[in-house]
């Protein structure tokens, strides 16, 4: 459903992506792991056109992703994104954040959007927080609202950019729990994460990225349990046993 | 003191006519400068290089010309090019243009204070540039922008007196005319100053209200 073919991307003189090719099937959950600065987030940002790419081809169900083409709006309504820092709109309540896309972009009737919005908040376990403003919510709650906001667009896939990295440790579980439920429901997900336990449990496939290239990929359990490449082994050792 | 009061009773109605024009010039140029200023600011943050530098250049030109020269230009020079404005029109247009530069910088500061992440989030739910501005950026920027906006209102009220230089008989010019015909400089200009102050006080209170509101958030 998402096809990346030989993607190159530079920021100024720094080449961040050096020929990334990957294919993500419908209902598949793919985790992207790798050291910071390796280009993980940039891949996600290229997939929904937050960044342009210099060379190669990204297609979502056959439609080329080009952030300067009008088609980008339909690409983005099909592929939602959840950010590390939540990026909720602080002047709108949780529920209003969730329905903003449906009513302003999709022009859904307000009553319908509200009903669906409440249902989505319930799905992420926050039905009682509908009328609360984001600054009054904990990080974990904000991230769950952000997931509900992404779901409200009825996307075909959701991109997660380190969704738990900005959270206090005891709040991580709630967010991962919601994500696991989404995966079980058959949502196509691409997750940049440092949560190896989540990757092992939930992901179908893991891509290990270092220095702008895919160093190793395969079924989650085999990459994480028996990494073949020295750099993957080294990375996993340092993540799993930091001391 | 007694003399001042009797003078005040005599001159007040005449000065009040000037107050009316002061209010017209202030509100007119405030509206104009707000519209122009917002427009320049949106060009500036449009992300389109040509428009952004056009706006930046224009703002610098406007900022570099004294208001009084701008007024002379509109009132005395434009007729040579076939554009004849009344003194009132010229003063509203001149002050509006002059202040649009300050308004624009104020609006831009407010817009740029909004976290880029929110703009990206808006994009990822399919919002275009204008929808993002209208629904995400501007509603938040307005809270940041209001206190300085109030200060600009006060400055405009006072600078509306510059319209007197192109014969608009607003409060300052009315005062000067009465003073030069009666030689009661002290009474007249004291009264004029008090009347400006009286008009400023509600604006000052408004600014204070805006600031309190902005700090609460």
**Domain range annotation of chain B:** 2-216
- Provide the pLDDT confidence category of residue B136 given band limits of 50, 70 and 90: very high
Instruction: Please compute the mean of the pLDDT values over residues A93-116 and round it to a whole number.
Output: 94
Q: Residue B131 pLDDT > 80, yes or no?
A: yes
| Count of positions (residues) in chain B | 217
Assess contact for A35 and A68: CB atoms under 8 A.
no
Closest CA relative to residue A146, chosen from A191, A188, A87: A87
**Chain-chain contact of B117 with A83 (C-beta, under 8 angstroms):** yes
**Which CATH number does B2-216 carry?**
1.10.3720.10
Strands A55-60 vs A205-210: parallel, antiparallel or unpaired? unpaired
Report DSSP letters for B27-64, one per residue. Answer: HHHHHHHHHHHHHHHHHHTSS-HHHHHHHHHHHHHHHH
- The answer to whether the CB of A121 falls within 8 A of the CB of A98 is yes
pLDDT of residue A68: 84
Residue B126, CA distances (Å) to A76, A101, B13 in order: 5, 7, 59
Average of per-residue pLDDT across B166-191: 90
Instruction: Kindly state the tokens that stand for B55.
Output: 């706006």
Q: Say if A163 is an interface residue toward chain B (CB within 8 Å).
A: no
Instruction: Summarize the confidence of residues A74-99 as an average pLDDT.
Output: 93
- Window 52-81 of A: residues touching B by CB (8 A cutoff) are 73-74, 76-77, 80-81
Q: Looking at this predicted complex, what is its ipTM?
A: 0.88
Position B4 scores a pLDDT of 83
Cα B102 to the center of its chain, rounded Å: 9
Phi, psi of B13 (to 5 degrees): -60, -35
From chain B, the residues in CB contact with A106 under 8 A are 126
d(CA A226, CA B110): 52
Q: Do A105 and B131 lie within an 8 Å CB cutoff?
A: yes
pLDDT at B217: 54
């Amino acid at each position: 459903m998402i096809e990346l073919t030989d993607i190159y991307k530079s920021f100024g003189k720094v080449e961040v992506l050096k020929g990334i090719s990957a294919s993500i099937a419908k209902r598949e959950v793919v985790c992207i792991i790798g050291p910071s600065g390796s280009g993980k987030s940039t891949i996600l940002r290229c997939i929904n056109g937050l960044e342009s790419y210099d060379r190669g081809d990204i297609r979502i169900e056959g439609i080329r992703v080009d952030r300067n083409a009008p088609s980008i709006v339909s690409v983005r309504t099909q592929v939602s994104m959840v950010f590390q820092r939540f990026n909720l709109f602080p002047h709108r309540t949780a529920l209003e954040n969730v329905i903003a896309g449906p009513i302003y972009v999709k022009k859904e009737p307000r009553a319908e959007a509200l009903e669906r919005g409440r249902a989505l908040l319930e799905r992420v376990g926050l039905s009682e927080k509908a009328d609360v403003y984001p600054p009054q919510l904990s990080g974990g709650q904000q991230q769950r609202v952000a997931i509900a906001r992404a779901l409200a667009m009825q996307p075909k896939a959701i991109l997660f950019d380190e969704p738990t990295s900005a959270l206090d440790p005891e709040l991580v579980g709630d967010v991962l729990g919601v994500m696991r439920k989404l995966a079980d429901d058959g949502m196509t997900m691409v997750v940049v994460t440092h949560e190896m336990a989540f990757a092992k449990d939930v992901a179908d496939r893991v891509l290990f990225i270092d220095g702008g290239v895919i160093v190793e990929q395969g079924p989650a359990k085999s990459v994480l349990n028996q990494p073949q490449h020295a750099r993957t082994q080294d990375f996993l050792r340092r993540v799993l046993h930091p001391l | 003191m007694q003399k001042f009061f009797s003078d005040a009773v005599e001159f007040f109605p005449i000065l009040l006519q000037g107050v009316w024009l002061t209010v017209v010039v202030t509100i007119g140029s405030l509206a104009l400068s707000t519209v122009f200023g917002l427009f320049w600011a949106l060009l500036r943050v449009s992300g389109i290089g040509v428009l952004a530098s056009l706006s930046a250049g224009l703002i610098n030109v406007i900022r570099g010309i004294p208001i009084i020269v701008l007024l002379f230009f509109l009132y005395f020079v434009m007729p040579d090019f076939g554009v004849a404005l009344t003194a009132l029109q010229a003063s509203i247009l001149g002050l509006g243009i002059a202040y649009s530069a300050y308004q624009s910088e104020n609006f831009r500061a407010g817009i740029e204070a909004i976290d880029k992440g929110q703009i990206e989030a808006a994009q990822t739910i399919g919002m275009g540039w204008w929808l993002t501005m209208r629904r995400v950026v501007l509603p938040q920027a307005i809270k940041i922008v209001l206190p300085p906006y109030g200060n600009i209102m006060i400055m405009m009220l006072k600078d509306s007196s510059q319209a007197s230089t192109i014969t608009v008989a607003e409060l300052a010019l009315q005062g000067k005319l009465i003073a030069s015909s009666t030689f009661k400089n002290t009474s007249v200009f004291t009264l004029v100053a008090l009347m400006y102050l009286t008009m400023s006080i509600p604006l000052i209170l408004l600014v204070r209200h805006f600031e309190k509101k902005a700090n609460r958030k």
